[in-house]
Amino acid sequence: MIEVFPAESRYQKDLGWLKVKLSFSFGDYFDPNNTAFGVMRVCNDDEVAAGLGFGPHPHSDMEIVTVVLAGAVRHEDNLGNIKVTSVGEVQRMTAGSGIIHAEYNDSATEKLHALQLWFMPNELGLKPSFEISGYDLADLHNALLPILDPIGSEHTVKIHQDMTLYLSRLDKGKELSFQQAEGRRIFIFTIEGSLTVNESKLDEGDTARIESQSHLSIRAEEAAFLMLIDLP
């Protein structure tokens, strides 16, 4: 089954300094029929004005992943981490037994555009931690590049869950194949451009939640930038 969620179906909020589009229930937006997809709890598409951001606030028992699409985000936490994540990097924060952190647009002049993703960990009460990993943007070209997985490597950040997050930039007309293992779920987000996934069309901003499809054919109907997440 491939269930497509059009871009306009996302809940949107404009606070002036923050423009956010939500794919799942979050904060004061609650839809009892849209709280999760497997272990995935949040997919927020955030635009943050220059020099502004989210002040110190707590989290626990969640894997929080940030993929920077434009600009840079500065992370600060009570573990003593003060780190900046830019385009070509991904960050993972394990909230675990409890952490207090803040996130700000690191630029005084440019907008920050990022995806923030939350996933349930494979174990509660983990030791809080924070990690950044970089990847080569050229490696996204007409390929699915893993940037996050449960093992971690020089070019992937480690997450405490049985899942892998891929990014890809496809030229118009290019096609990728992906095999979905039995019992797994796939989440696809068309960040830019237009895709056909099997027989389903996804335009810019659309997402798809996919189950019980052994084979996926992903074709760029126009030049496209996409995120694919393989999760339980």
Residues of the binding site: 57, 59, 101, 103
| Whole-angstrom distance, CA of residue 143 vs CA of residue 224 | 12
| Whole-angstrom distance, CA of residue 185 vs CA of residue 117 | 16
Measured from the Cβ of residue 39, the count of other Cβ atoms closer than 10 Å reads 18
Q: Which residues are annotated as a binding site for Fe cation?
A: 57, 59, 101, 103
The three-point CA angle 125-126-129 to 5° equals 135
The three-point CA angle 109-13-133 to 5° equals 55
Measured in residues, the chain has a length of 232
| Whole-angstrom distance, CA of residue 226 vs CA of residue 113 | 15
Q: 3-state class of 135 per DSSP?
A: coil
C-alpha dist (Å) from residue 94 to 56, 106, 126, 211, 219: 16, 21, 8, 27, 34
The torsion angle over the Cα atoms of residues 104, 115, 185 and 226, rounded to 10 degrees, is: -150
